[in-house]
Amino acid sequence: MADDTAALQAWLKAGGSRLSNGTYRITSGLTMAGDNRTLFTENAKIVADGVGITALTVTGNGSRVSVYVDGKNKASYGVRVTGASAIIENGRYENFYSTTGPARGIDVATSGGIIIRNNMIRSVISVGDATLGNGNGASRGIMLNARRAATAASLISGNIIRNIMGEEGDAIQLLFFDGTANPFNAGNVTISDNQILNVSRRFIKVQASNVAVERNKLYFDLATPPANPSTAIDVIRSEYVKVVGNEVGPNLLGPCIAVNGVSAVPIRGIEIRDNILRQKDTKSAIIIYLNWTTSPIVQGNTVYGGRVAVSIVSSTKAVVQGNPRYRGT
């Protein structure tokens, strides 16, 4: 019940690294500065009991963080990382909420590489202001962004993500953009082996080149469609992206996989292979959709239900082979 903010911040400033056995309440955000720091909650939980706060900001390079943060449906962000070469693993981030601003479980702003693995992220909600694309209402389970091309590789793997909802709820988003690049800058990111259940807009949104999306399992069990559905895996103006071995269950979003370039710069290096993609027979949906691409490969995907298995428009030299389609989900 006591406010532990000042005590915890002083402890972090003095080099504290392991928080044990208890529930610690904070009313404003904590900051962990300095390179090569570690922070673990061992049988402990941080309750972020302040409206709109970021529970923990990590600014140094080479940090290692494994924490349990409950945003209590008041805090907007769980952990925010701005340093390079961090490892965020084996943590739990839940109950983050914003009325008009964005909400995040794990938010990372670096081009210097990061590993985000084996975390539980659930219940991240941003209500929004009924204007799509302006940042308000953007809830994300994991967000990785940078204002330039990556200088080191990143990995987002083995995370369990549940219920990323609100106006624009995406479980995982990459955005590597310097303000002018078309296609988007290189992210050098692998998104693999994550399990995601329920989003209000997208499961995975890729706005970065040089990305692999592999072996993720994406499911949806809501009975009613969200207000602003998009695509399960959405690749936007990004080159050399491989979408391989993923499983997408029937959902109330749009296509299972969509890739969109622009007429001025058709995108290259797209591979969509060996995915299992399911949709209800009654849903009038395109399962795999490509627009403004050159030499894409669509091969070995198994498609259930939907209206059209593969649709490729405004593209050249496409290779489409061995994509069986079945009725029934």
At 189 the pLDDT is 98
Per-residue pLDDT of the chain (329 residues; tens, 9 = 90+): 899 999 999 999 999 999 999 999 999 999 999 999 999 999 999 999 999 999 999 999 999 999 999 999 999 999 999 999 999 999 999 999 999 899 999 999 999 999 999 999 999 999 988 777 777 889 999 999 999 999 999 999 999 999 999 999 999 999 999 999 899 999 999 999 999 999 999 999 999 999 999 999 999 999 898 999 999 999 999 999 999 999 999 998 999 999 999 998 899 999 999 999 999 888 888 999 999 999 999 999 999 998 899 999 999 999 999 999 887 55
Residue 160 lies in a domain: yes
Question: In total, how many domains does the chain have?
Answer: 1
- Number of Cβ within a 10 Å radius of residue 62: 15
pTM tops 0.85 = yes
* Prior bond of 183 cis (ω within 30°): yes
Q: What is the CA radius of gyration of the chain?
A: 20
Tell me which residue has tokens 């690749």: 235
Q: Is residue 259 part of a domain?
A: no
Residue 138 lies in a domain: yes
Q: Distance (Å, rounded) from C-alpha 194 to C-alpha 296?
A: 25
CA count, 13 A, side-chain hemisphere, 227: 13
C-alpha–C-alpha distance, residues 213 and 190, integer Å: 6
Whether 208 maps to a domain, the answer reads no
Name the one residue in this structure whose structure tokens are 């895996």: 233
pLDDT of residue 171: 98
Under 8 Å between Cβ of 25 and 4: yes
Q: Residue 98's domain spans which residues?
A: 5-201
Contact 85, 62 (CB under 8 A): yes
